[in-house]
């Protein structure tokens, strides 16, 4: 496998690098922001950045040109994300651009494409994901939110949980059970709906980091027009698989880890240097390089027209577990002060960023499929082992 850029790829890389260093808002270049924005279309800086990136055709670089994308080859999409991450600048894509849009392109009708895609590109429709339920997380197909057909509508009753950013998004894509008699994977339909509809209520769940991005969402006779069902009735599971395939890409995360380790090494207080710690940091640097190569491997597979499966699980598992170990090390590296949050009279280290990062990397091994589930995928689909 050759990971060097072809002359054409190198030229594209330079173009992206110049664009980001010239056009990115100052605050994004100084403060690293997460690679997928939380939602909230009310952020003016983000909206302006989204507009600039969209004007280059790079907001939805993977969408076909016919729908406002750039039809970029996979390897150039990869370079694009990598260059943003290397400059620690957020790519202003969100769940609409990354997950729902491609799903609508693949499974939606022409009418749905015309109505639903442009507001995503303009940043007007910002989506949250209503998949998980109290009794359906890893075993998602057990979901119970009920969708009953009533004339031109479906009527939804039940509950979702862990809906990230539901309070700041204005749209939701969700799965609901439209045929309770069918085998569980075959009785599910896929819908999109505005969040602000009668009967839909949201309750934020406070987390240990003091945030409340995760939410419970309750459906009490919520009406969703049948025109908002994506794909055929009861085929929603297969539509959802498209969405989940688009959830795992990995490169921005892998580059972030690499930069994070280098940064940590540069800032290690001399008095806290021990032989054991220096060896752990050496291991992290090696592991971060491996994470990056694994992400390249996934892009390379896609570039050759193959659908990464257990390979994407390997990236997710390896990167999220590595990040958790690095963030734990970072907090302990600065002693008790490393564990302090912002607002501790200046005793906290670098605005409490290490404590904050650790509180973010702990749930990352659960979100998007837990580490145990990823290991199960690698064992069965990667190694061909029987299910335990």
Q: Would you tell me which residues interact with ligand FAD (CB under 6 A)?
A: 128-132, 137-138, 162-164, 214, 363, 366-367, 369-370, 372-373, 376
Backbone angles phi, psi at 162, to 5 degrees: 60, 30
Which is closer to ligand FAD, CB of 119 or CB of 137? Answer: 137
> In the bound complex, what is the minimum distance in angstroms from residue 9's beta carbon to ligand FAD?
33
Which is closer to ligand FAD, CB of 292 or CB of 356? Answer: 356
> In the bound complex, what is the minimum distance in angstroms from residue 374's beta carbon to ligand FAD?
9
Which is closer to ligand FAD, CB of 157 or CB of 370? Answer: 370
Which is closer to ligand FAD, CB of 128 or CB of 291? Answer: 128
Q: Which residue is nearest to ligand FAD (CB)?
A: 137
> In the bound complex, what is the minimum distance in angstroms from residue 94's beta carbon to ligand FAD?
12
Which is closer to ligand FAD, CB of 77 or CB of 374? Answer: 374
> In the bound complex, what is the minimum distance in angstroms from residue 49's beta carbon to ligand FAD?
23
Which is closer to ligand FAD, CB of 159 or CB of 302? Answer: 159
**Secondary structure, 3-state, the chain:** CCCCCCHHHHHHHHHHHHHHHHHCCHHHHHCCCCCCCCCCCCCHHHHHHHHHHHHCCCCCCCCCHHHCCCCCCHHHHHHHHHHHHHCCCCCCCCHHHHHHHHHHHHHCCHHHHHHHHHHHHCCCCCEEEECCECCECCCHHHCCCEEEEECCEEEEEEEECCCCCCCCCCEEEEEEECCCCCCHHHCEEEEEEECCCCCEEEEECCCCCCCCCCEEEEEEEEEEEHHHEECCCCEHHHHHHHHHHHHCCCHHHHHHHHHHHHHHHHHCCHHHCCHHHHHHHHHHHHHHHHHHHHHHHHHHHHHCCCCCCHHHHHHHHHHHHHHHHHHHHHHHHCHHHHHCCCCCCCCCCHHHHHHHHHHHHHHHCCCCCCHHHHHHHHHHHHCCCCCC
> In the bound complex, what is the minimum distance in angstroms from residue 132's beta carbon to ligand FAD?
3
Q: How far is CA 194 from CA 23, 41, 352, in A?
A: 32, 14, 36
Q: How far is CA 260 from the centre of its chain?
A: 19
Bridge partner list, 218: 159, 201
Which is closer to ligand FAD, CB of 220 or CB of 372? Answer: 372
> In the bound complex, what is the minimum distance in angstroms from residue 367's beta carbon to ligand FAD?
3
> In the bound complex, what is the minimum distance in angstroms from residue 349's beta carbon to ligand FAD?
24
Residue with tokens 């990352």: 364
Which is closer to ligand FAD, CB of 25 or CB of 363? Answer: 363
Which is closer to ligand FAD, CB of 106 or CB of 367? Answer: 367
> In the bound complex, what is the minimum distance in angstroms from residue 362's beta carbon to ligand FAD?
9
> In the bound complex, what is the minimum distance in angstroms from residue 275's beta carbon to ligand FAD?
35
């Amino acid at each position: 496998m050759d990971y060097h850029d072809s002359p054409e790829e190198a030229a594209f890389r330079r173009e992206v690098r110049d664009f980001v260093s010239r056009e990115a808002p100052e605050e994004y270049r100084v403060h690293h922001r997460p690679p997928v924005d939380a939602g909230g279309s009310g952020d003016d800086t983000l909206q302006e950045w989204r507009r600039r990136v969209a004007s280059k055709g790079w907001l939805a670089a993977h969408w076909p040109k016919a729908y406002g994308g750039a039809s970029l080859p996979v390897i150039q999409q990869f370079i694009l994300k990598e260059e943003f991450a290397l400059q620690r600048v957020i790519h202003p894509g969100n769940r609409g651009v990354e997950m729902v849009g491609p799903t609508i392109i693949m499974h939606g009708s022409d009418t749905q494409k015309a109505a639903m895609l442009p507001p995503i590109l303009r940043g007007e429709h910002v989506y949250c994901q209503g998949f998980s339920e109290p009794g359906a997380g890893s075993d998602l197909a057990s979901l119970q939110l009920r969708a009953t057909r009533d004339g031109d509508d479906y009527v939804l009753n039940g509950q979702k949980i862990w809906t990230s950013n539901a309070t700041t998004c204005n749209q939701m894509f969700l799965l609901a059970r439209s045929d309770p008699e069918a085998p569980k994977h075959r009785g599910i339909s896929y819908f999109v709906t505005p969040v602000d509809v009668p009967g839909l209520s949201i309750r934020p769940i406070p987390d240990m980091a003091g945030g409340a991005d995760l939410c419970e969402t309750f459906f009490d006779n919520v009406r969703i027009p049948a025109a908002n069902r994506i794909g055929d009735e009861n085929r929603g599971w297969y539509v959802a698989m498209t969405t989940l395939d688009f959830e795992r890409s990995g490169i921005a995360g892998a580059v972030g880890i690499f930069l994070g380790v280098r940064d940590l090494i540069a800032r290690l207080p001399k008095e806290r240097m021990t032989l054991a710690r220096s060896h752990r940091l050496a291991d992290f640097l090696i592991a971060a390089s491996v994470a990056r190569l694994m992400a390249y491997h996934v892009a390379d597979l896609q570039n050759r027209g193959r659908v990464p499966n257990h390979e994407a699980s390997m990236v997710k598992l390896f990167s999220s577990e590595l990040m958790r170990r690095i963030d734990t090390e970072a907090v302990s590296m600065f002693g008790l002060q490393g564990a302090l949050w912002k607002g501790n009279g200046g005793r906290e280290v670098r605005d409490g960023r290490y404590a904050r990062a650790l509180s973010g990397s702990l749930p990352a091994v659960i979100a998007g499929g837990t580490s145990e589930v990823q290991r199960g995928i690698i064992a069965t689909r990667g190694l061909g082992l029987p299910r335990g």
